[in-house]
Amino acid sequence: MAVMPSAALPSPLTPLADPAMERAGLELRLKRDDLIHPTVPGNKWRKLTPNLRAAVEQGHTRLLTFGGAYSNHIRAVAAAGAARGLETVGIIRGDELADAPRNWSLALAESYGMRLSFLDRSGYRETLRSLDDPRTLRGLEARWGRAYVLPEGGTNVLAAQGTADLVAELPDLGARDIVCCAVGTGGTLAGIAAALPEGARALGFAVLKGAGGYLEDEVAELHRRGWGRTFTDWRIEHGYHGGGYGRVPAGLEAFAAGFEERHGVRVERRYVAKMLWGLYGLAEAGALPRGARVTAVITGPPDPEGTG
């Protein structure tokens, strides 16, 4: 049974001619996962699809998940639940948001029928930290009813395995290939790295500040749980977070605007722009092997126009 039937797969793979890349001896192409689905785009579609299938198979009628005020994951779960006829509950970080006017992202989630609940930051952190404790789940279900629970950002083993499908859409990968993506929780990078053929490499760009070590551990743990082994074909670059999650310093904004202008492709700022910024930074520093073919995964679309 198709979970979200209107997905457009495989997503387009488009070569991109760029003088900066040519100077570095690199071939660049974009994997346009931002175009997969109108309301459940990018890596969120790939991560949610196997989870929705599991939820339905396990007889669930409700999804429950977690996220911040502008979470792409929250909107994607709301839209996917609506498409699949599942109720959705979003637990949102920040109790000050409860009585504030809804921002565009939360308003969109509610328009898909998601019920929102707001937790203060320490309660939110504690709930996420103890998500594997049966008492936490019982507490959530006492309030919301039986639910299929997805962690913040939607990353679990099924999600990582879902992103692995992306690699199957890249023909003829080999030793000269580098596949790049942004890293929030690491689920997408984990799936890509696990699926690559011998010799090809995955390169992730952290969007969080100070996440060195932590994100590597998360990816390795997903590999152990999902594939029963670890992999050595990936690494995470930590120099291009731009000051932290959601921060867009002037240099990053100028880079993203220039890229949009040169290539006519709009660039999502919290993840995709940082990945491209980092990729160009490494290329210009001569830190990528000449002759490599770089596939930059565009993991999601930009925020709607006029949302700041």
The reply to whether 42 sits near ligand PLP by the rule CB under 6 A is: yes
> What are the DSSP calls for 75-141, one per residue?
HHHHHHHHHHT-EEEEEEE-GGGTTSPPPHHHHHHHHTT-EEEEE-HHHHHHHHHTTTSHHHHHHHH
Of 253, 255, 295, the residue nearest 32 (C-alpha):
295
In contact, 74 and 63? CB cutoff 8 Å: no
Q: State how far the Cα of 6 lies from the Cα of 4, in Å rounded to an integer.
A: 6
Segment contacting ligand PLP by CB under 6 A, of 17-25, 39-47, 51-59, 117-125: 39-47
- The least distance separating ligand PLP from the CB of residue 148, rounded to whole angstroms, comes to 18
**Which residues are CB-neighbours of 210 under 8 A, at least 6 positions away?**
none
Segment contacting ligand PLP by CB under 6 A, of 78-86, 125-133, 186-194, 243-251: 186-194
Number of residues that bind ligand PLP (CB under 6 A): 19
Segment contacting ligand PLP by CB under 6 A, of 42-50, 118-126, 134-142, 253-261: 42-50
Q: How many helices (H) and strands (E) does the chain have?
A: 11, 10
Within 10 A of 10 (CB to CB), how many other CB atoms are there? Answer: 15
* List 6, 71, 105, 122, catalytic entry: 71
- The least distance separating ligand PLP from the CB of residue 35, rounded to whole angstroms, comes to 12
Q: State how far the Cα of 6 lies from the Cα of 70, in Å rounded to an integer.
A: 25
Per CB under 6 A, which of residues 248..277 are in contact with ligand PLP?
268, 271-272
Per CB under 6 A, which of residues 132..161 are in contact with ligand PLP?
153, 155
Which CB atom, from 24 or from 158, has the smaller least distance to ligand PLP?
A: 158
Which CB atom, from 177 or from 268, has the smaller least distance to ligand PLP?
A: 268
The reply to whether 278 sits near ligand PLP by the rule CB under 6 A is: no
The residue behind tokens 């830190």 is 287
- The least distance separating ligand PLP from the CB of residue 19, rounded to whole angstroms, comes to 26
Of 183, 186, 194, the residue nearest 229 (C-alpha):
194
- The least distance separating ligand PLP from the CB of residue 34, rounded to whole angstroms, comes to 7
Segment contacting ligand PLP by CB under 6 A, of 82-90, 166-174, 182-190, 245-253: 182-190
What are 146's two structure tokens?
């039986």
Active site residue 130: no
Which CB atom, from 88 or from 188, has the smaller least distance to ligand PLP?
A: 188
Helix (H, G, I), strand (E, B) or coil at 238: coil
Secondary structure element (H or E) that encloses residue 178, with its range: strand 177-183
- Point out the residue whose Cβ comes nearest to ligand PLP: 300
Which CB atom, from 24 or from 299, has the smaller least distance to ligand PLP?
A: 299
What are 35's two structure tokens?
């175009």
The reply to whether 300 sits near ligand PLP by the rule CB under 6 A is: yes
The reply to whether 72 sits near ligand PLP by the rule CB under 6 A is: yes
Tell me which residues touch ligand PLP (CB under 6 A).
42-44, 72-73, 153, 155, 182-188, 268, 271-272, 299-300
- As annotated, the active-site residues are 71
